[in-house]
Amino acid sequence: MKPTLLVLAAGMGSRYGGLKQMDGLGPSGETIIDYSIFDAVQAGFGKVVYIVREYFLEQFKETVARKYSNVKCLDGSPLEFVFVTQELTKIPARFTLNPERQKPWGTAHAVLMAADVIKEPFVVINGDDYYGKESFRIAGDWCRAHAESTGVYAIVGFELDHTLSESGGVSRGICHYDAEQHLTDVVEHLNIQQDPDGVVRGDNSLTGEHVELRGKDLCSMNMWCFTPDYFALSADIFEGFLEKNIMELKKEFYIPYAIDCMIQAGSAKCDVLSTPSRWFGVTYKEDRPAVVEKFAEFAREGVYPTPLYQ
């Protein structure tokens, strides 16, 4: 069984100022998505599903066809690509959209857009985050082990001190879990950074308190493992979300919210998987030189070939 990689890229056009400006950070102009797909293929994945916006769909397809045309899965078969669009109007027919709303419906809504094209266990990632080889291996192994499972999902948790930025505070969802390593909740913390005394602190979004955090705390970087039954459960929760928020202009339907609803209802459990990989991304423009150097270091050490794709 070859898991599928679901790449959340619908917001990338706005963040990068258009697809043409999608930042090349590797030695040969590779983007972060390029490295994620490379790692996923090495971990045994067989298909990539992109969630994009309609206005840059064709341009995205052309870029993918040019860049990945010769990429093969571990068994020698071609890597499959599927493209799905996320738009505000893609909601159940019984709801009437607030005409003033422009903000997307969020990550859990984006995942729902792929319900018709994914029939196997799959892993969700952000298109602009680097997750590391070990993270994809761990996620791929979990998917293969749960090919016949229902009602159990997983989150790949990163050690907090592996996700910080030297350029400023970051927001992270801290994972709480029970003795069986099952997720109980994800609590968002804001302005997390290491203070001059060496202690990591952040603002608890629920209480507003500025609290001390542990560097080994596991946090969410939006890397999730799901089996296909997730779609039906999530769709039901989305309808409930819309019943309360259809006229809101900014509220979004996020994956942690959907998972929390399932946990509280007892309809699903979520394993917390720990990865030794170090996350990085360009949270601030000041982060870019360090990320470029990190990919250059990977190339020098032979961690990745350069160019990444021939």
Q: What is the average pLDDT across 171-193?
A: 95
pLDDT score of 259: 96
pLDDT band of 15, cuts 50, 70, 90? low
The residue behind tokens 């258009």 is 18
In Å, how far are 194, 258, 278 from 212, measured between CA atoms? 10, 27, 21
The answer to whether 47 and 82 have CB atoms below 8 angstroms apart is yes
Tell me whether residue 229 is in a domain. yes
Q: What is the pLDDT of residue 99?
A: 93
Q: Is residue 307 part of a domain?
A: no
Task: Please write the tens of the pLDDT for every residue from 199-236.
Answer: 999 999 989 999 999 999 999 999 999 999 999 999 99
What CATH code is carried by the domain that includes residue 243? 3.90.550.10
Q: How many angstroms separate the Cα of 281 from the Cα of each of 170, 191, 242, 278?
A: 11, 16, 32, 10
Structural domain boundaries enclosing 93: 4-300
Domain for residue 308, yes or no?
A: no
In a domain, 206, yes or no: yes
Number of C-beta neighbours around residue 24 at 10 A: 14
Per-residue model confidence as pLDDT tens digits over 257-293: 999 999 999 999 999 999 999 999 887 788 889 999 9
In a domain, 256, yes or no: yes
State residue 166's pLDDT score: 83
Look at residue 309 and tell me if it is in a domain. Answer: no
20 pLDDT higher than 60: no
Residue 182 lies inside a defined structural domain of this protein: yes
pLDDT at 186: 92
Is residue 305, in this structure, part of any structural domain at all? no
The total number of structural domains in the chain stands at: 1
Q: Is the pLDDT of residue 17 over 90?
A: no
* Residue pLDDT, tens place only, 76-112: 999 999 999 999 999 999 999 999 998 889 999 999 9
